[in-house]
């Protein structure tokens, strides 16, 4: 009853927060279902080589269930035009057939909207409808439901069944598996998938426009700003009859992600690990010191007519901005490190070349240095999505075997590249080249990361061949663009460290609400009149901090000092 009441309270507060922010959420009543006995049974004894232990789990010597088990697995739905159904396609069939063949596990995929995944998984958990294998980028969401008994503790399950999972343990290693383990309680609510490359974002500009205006690729903030002004002032030269459609710089409602290189340049070079940890619960870094000055620069550009005036009007997943880029109207933008080169024949690069000409292209540039003259990028640790089992999971062993199967090299490589001779070609040097996929063989996400959930990014088992394969992996795109983007995105990067000091209670239930406040604050600040910027930004920040942000900072600070004392750096 305690869990049921807690879920109902959270569901009600989530609905209220959604109503206040103009969003809607599910108000399905929570149930009092608890995990079946099978969820805890494996913790009592490790299988090892014991046939009796395997027999107790219902497995044969090959880790195959004697009776078919059924599990549901979350998969992101990106709503790709021309894509396939995320829950039913060539790649889901490969997984389903393989799991039945190897483990006698019947898999059903449950699509969750990628661009609102945090809200969606909240609603599914509140309604006791989350898939047996769930994932999210929001650890506070997991922690919230774990505190109410709504998430399985993976610690004993992983420890006592380790011998069943050689592929997962070898691939993720203890670092990723135990990344989120509570240092005092020992609980483990999620494991972190492996981020194979730390590539995050890049700044892109139209290479052909630079050539037309006899400009060099910008290497400083002032050069970048002057370039944007040159694009605007020469709209007729660059766009002819479409000059009025000129967009020197584009961004989206997600200002925090989409202007990351600019804002990072304003963060002091001497920021400590302590400062990062205590202010890093927002993954857009917008609580970092001096971040406001980066947004102030964007505000200035907006008021000078250099920024797409409608950027805040389109929600996540909307393709309007992409289409403007494909049409050739956008001079510069920041986005995922390879964004203009993704999706083969439907890529932004292919689109502008089709409409504008073969010389039209975006190229990655590096114009934003910090106070030490370093092009600092704040990079993630080697972790990605958080994988967890809701308490309603009645088949935890089958679910663990799924994670092991999906971590096996042969399975990962097939999912990343598809069929030899059809969607991939192995070159003489051992690297792999992607062949543009059509029809049912199209991948809805880069390298099928929505299915390789323990892995994000290419990995063919050999680091050198993997790097070459990355450059080869963009059908119809000259490898030189990929190589440059790959080099710049992590240059002068500061890799995230794991300051695991335990759960921060102040974060419970705050993830989605604070995210929405952050996005609203940044959107309003960018479009404010220049003389109103400080007032708008400061009022929004005051509201954010007063709505739970400051409490999180304070609790994180206390937790850091308890764990590390006066130390400000992690080893």
pLDDT in tens, 542-571: 999 999 999 999 999 999 999 999 999 998
From 181-185, 199-203, 434-438, 558-562, the region with the lowest mean pLDDT: 434-438
Q: Considering only residues 31 and 161, tell me which one the structure prediction assigns the higher pLDDT.
A: 161
- Look at residue 106 and tell me whether its pLDDT is greater than 70: yes
What is residue 224's predicted lDDT score, i.e. its pLDDT? Answer: 98
What is residue 288's predicted lDDT score, i.e. its pLDDT? Answer: 97
Question: Bridge-partner residues for 420, per DSSP?
Answer: 424
What is residue 506's predicted lDDT score, i.e. its pLDDT? Answer: 94
For strand 330-336 and strand 247-250, is the pairing parallel, antiparallel, or unpaired? parallel
- Look at residue 500 and tell me whether its pLDDT is greater than 50: yes
Beta strands in 321-411 (DSSP E): 330-336, 362-365, 377-379, 383-388
Distance CA 316, CA 306 (A): 22
The DSSP code sequence of 301-345 is HHHTT-B-TTGGGS-TT--HHHHHHHHT-EEEEEEETTGGG-SGG
Confidence of residue 472 (pLDDT cuts 50, 70, 90): confident
Buried b (16+ CB within 10 A) or exposed e, 427-441: eeeebbbbbebeeeb
What is residue 1's predicted lDDT score, i.e. its pLDDT? Answer: 40
Confidence of residue 41 (pLDDT cuts 50, 70, 90): very low
What is residue 474's predicted lDDT score, i.e. its pLDDT? Answer: 85
- Look at residue 48 and tell me whether its pLDDT is greater than 70: no
Is residue 517 within a helix (H) or strand (E), and if so which, with residue range?
helix 511-527
What is residue 278's predicted lDDT score, i.e. its pLDDT? Answer: 97
**Distances 459 to 91, 199, 217, 353, 504 between C-alpha atoms, Å:** 18, 14, 32, 30, 34
CB-based burial label for 254 (10 Å; 0-12, 13-18, 19+):
buried
**Distances 169 to 172, 181, 269, 400 between C-alpha atoms, Å:** 5, 15, 37, 11
**HSE (side-chain half, CA atoms, 13 Å) at 326:** 16
What is residue 43's predicted lDDT score, i.e. its pLDDT? Answer: 38
End-to-end CA distance of the chain: 44
For strand 201-206 and strand 362-365, is the pairing parallel, antiparallel, or unpaired? antiparallel
Confidence of residue 334 (pLDDT cuts 50, 70, 90): very high
pLDDT tens digits for 350-363? 999 999 999 999 99
Distance CA 174, CA 195 (A): 14
Distance CA 103, CA 53 (A): 16
The tokens for 530 are: 């220049």
The percentage of the chain sitting over the pLDDT mark of 70, rounded to a whole number, equals 91
| pLDDT averaged over every residue in the chain | 90
What domains are defined for the chain? 63-194+385-461 (3.40.190.10), 201-379+497-564 (3.40.190.10)
The tokens for 403 are: 């994670």
What is residue 187's predicted lDDT score, i.e. its pLDDT? Answer: 96
Q: Which residue do the tokens 């981020």 mark?
A: 195
Distance CA 549, CA 540 (A): 12
């Amino acid at each position: 009853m305690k869990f049921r009441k807690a879920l109902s309270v959270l569901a009600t507060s989530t609905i209220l927060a959604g109503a206040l922010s103009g969003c809607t959420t599910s108000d399905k009543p929570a149930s009092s279902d608890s995990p079946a006995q099978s969820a805890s049974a494996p913790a009592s004894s490790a299988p090892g080589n014991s046939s009796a232990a395997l027999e107790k789990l219902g497995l044969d010597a090959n880790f195959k269930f004697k009776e078919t088990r059924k599990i549901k697995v979350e998969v992101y739905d990106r709503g790709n035009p021309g894509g396939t159904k995320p829950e039913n396609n060539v790649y889901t069939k490969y997984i389903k057939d393989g799991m039945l063949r190897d483990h006698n596990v019947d898999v059903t995929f449950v699509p969750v909207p990628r661009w609102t995944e945090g809200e969606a998984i909240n609603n599914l958990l509140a309604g006791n409808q989350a898939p047996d294998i769930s994932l999210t980028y929001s650890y506070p969401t997991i922690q919230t439901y774990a505190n109410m008994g709504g998430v399985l503790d993976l610690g004993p399950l992983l420890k006592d069944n380790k011998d069943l999972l050689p592929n997962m343990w070898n691939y993720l290693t203890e670092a990723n598996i135990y990344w989120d383990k509570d240092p005092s309680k020992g609980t483990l609510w999620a494991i972190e998938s492996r981020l194979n490359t730390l590539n995050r974002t890049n700044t892109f500009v139209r290479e052909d426009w630079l050539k037309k205006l006899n400009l060099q690729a910008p290497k400083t903030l002032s050069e970048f700003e002057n370039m944007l002004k040159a694009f605007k002032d020469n709209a007729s030269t660059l766009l002819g009859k479409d000059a009025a459609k000129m967009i020197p710089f584009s961004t989206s409602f997600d200002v925090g992600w989409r202007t990351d290189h600019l804002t990072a340049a304003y963060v002091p070079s001497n920021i400590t690990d302590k400062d990062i940890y205590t202010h890093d619960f927002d993954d857009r870094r917008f609580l970092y010191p001096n971040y406001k000055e980066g947004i102030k620069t964007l505000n200035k550009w907006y008021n000078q007519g250099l920024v797409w005036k409608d950027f805040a009007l389109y929600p996540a997943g909307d393709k309007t901005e992409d289409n403007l880029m494909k049409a050739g109207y956008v001079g510069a933008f920041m986005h995922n490190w390879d964004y203009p080169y993704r999706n083969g024949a439907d890529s932004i690069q292919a689109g502008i070349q089709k409409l504008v000409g073969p010389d039209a292209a975006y190229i990655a540039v590096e114009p934003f240095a910090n106070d030490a003259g370093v092009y600092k990028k704040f990079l993630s640790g080697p972790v990605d999505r958080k994988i967890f089992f809701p308490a309603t999971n009645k088949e935890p062993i089958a679910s663990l075997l799924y994670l092991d199967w999906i971590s096996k090299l042969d399975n990962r490589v097939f999912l990343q590249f598809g069929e030899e001779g059809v969607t991939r070609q192995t070159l003489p040097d051992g690297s792999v080249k992607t062949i543009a996929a059509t029809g049912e063989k199209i991948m809805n996400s880069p390298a099928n990361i929505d299915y390789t959930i323990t892995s994000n990014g290419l990995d063919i088992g050999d680091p050198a061949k993997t790097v070459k394969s990355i450059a080869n992996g963009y059908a119809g795109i000259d490898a030189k663009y990929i190589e440059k983007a790959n080099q710049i995105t992590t240059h002068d990067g500061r890799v995230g460290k794991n300051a695991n000091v335990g759960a921060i209670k102040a974060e419970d239930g705050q993830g989605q609400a604070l995210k929405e406040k952050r996005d609203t604050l940044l959107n309003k600040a960018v479009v404010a009149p220049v003389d109103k910027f400080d007032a708008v930004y400061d009022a929004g920040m005051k509201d954010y901090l007063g709505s739970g942000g400051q409490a999180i900072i304070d609790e994180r600070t206390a937790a850091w000092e308890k764990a590390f004392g006066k130390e400000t750096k992690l080893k």
